[in-house]
Chain A
């Protein structure tokens, strides 16, 4: 099956810092989603981004489908950004999302 790798696995930031999270995948996809899992376990949709660039407030994401990677940018981080960020992909002609291992982010005040 398709492999999804996220890096770094852990990230500690000082409040106000910027960061980049990466997601590499091993095959063609027709869906890529970024999620934030909060401390209560809820998966919050950040971006639906099979290709191109999108921005939402302090967050932005870029997917380069031909090179099989996606990046999530967090600018001016806040303590509420803490949690686990997951990248998940849906293989072309597939139906199930395959998740990466996540990046655990801790933003310190």
Chain B
């Protein structure tokens, strides 16, 4: 497709379950980002990949959160033993260029809305 796609669009999990969220970036985009958006707030950075290398995971809120991009294209964000505070929209973004360069516009997918009961 032409844009960033994410699946599932909605996920309901019982507290303690593990979930996996998928992101398909724009074809050819080297950089991939995950953000978390709580209700009524702006998105917040979780982690960043350049190809298959995870270069920054400073935003991951706990060791229950794990992200991978093994072949440098599709990425999966995994949350283990989900808690109610994990309820949020998880956004994926991709960007064409390598950092640091002058052009680095990020394009976002539609997000996955996670509700933990």
Interface size on B, residues (CB 8 A): 27
Residues of A within 8 A of B45 (CB): 96-98
Bound-state CA distance A86–B102 (Å) is: 21
Specify the main secondary structure of chain B where it touches its partner: strand
Task: Give the Cβ gap from A26 to chain B, nearest Cβ, in Å.
Answer: 15
Asked if A97 contacts B106 (CB within 8 A), the reply is yes
| Shortest Cβ distance from B99 into A: residue | A95
Bound-state CA distance A62–B108 (Å) is: 22
Residues of A within 8 A of B43 (CB): 43, 86, 88, 97, 99
A-facing mask of B88-111, CB < 8 A → 1, else 0?
Answer: 010101000001101111111011
Asked if B33 contacts A42 (CB within 8 A), the reply is no
Residues of B within 8 A of A42 (CB): 108, 110-111
The yes or no answer to B18 lying at the interface (CB within 8 A) is no
Residues of B within 8 A of A35 (CB): 108
The yes or no answer to B59 lying at the interface (CB within 8 A) is yes
Bound-state CA distance A38–B56 (Å) is: 29
Query: With A43-B91, A101-B42 given, is the CB distance from A31 to B105 under 8 Å?
Result: yes
The yes or no answer to B62 lying at the interface (CB within 8 A) is no
Residue B31 contacts which of A30, A95, A102 (CB distance < 8 angstroms)? A95
Residues of A within 8 A of B59 (CB): 96
Residues of B within 8 A of A40 (CB): 110
Residue A93 contacts which of B35, B100, B102, B110 (CB distance < 8 angstroms)? B100
| Shortest Cβ distance from B108 into A: residue | A43
Asked if B100 contacts A30 (CB within 8 A), the reply is yes
Residue contacts A-B, CB under 8 angstroms, 11 given: A30-B100, A30-B104, A35-B108, A40-B110, A45-B107, A90-B104, A95-B48, A95-B55, A97-B93, A99-B43, A100-B42
- Point out residues on B near A: beta carbons under 8 Å: 31, 33, 35, 41-45, 48, 55-56, 59, 89, 91, 93, 99-100, 102-108, 110-111, 113
- Point out residues on A near B: beta carbons under 8 Å: 30-31, 33, 35, 40-43, 45, 48, 86, 88, 90, 92-102
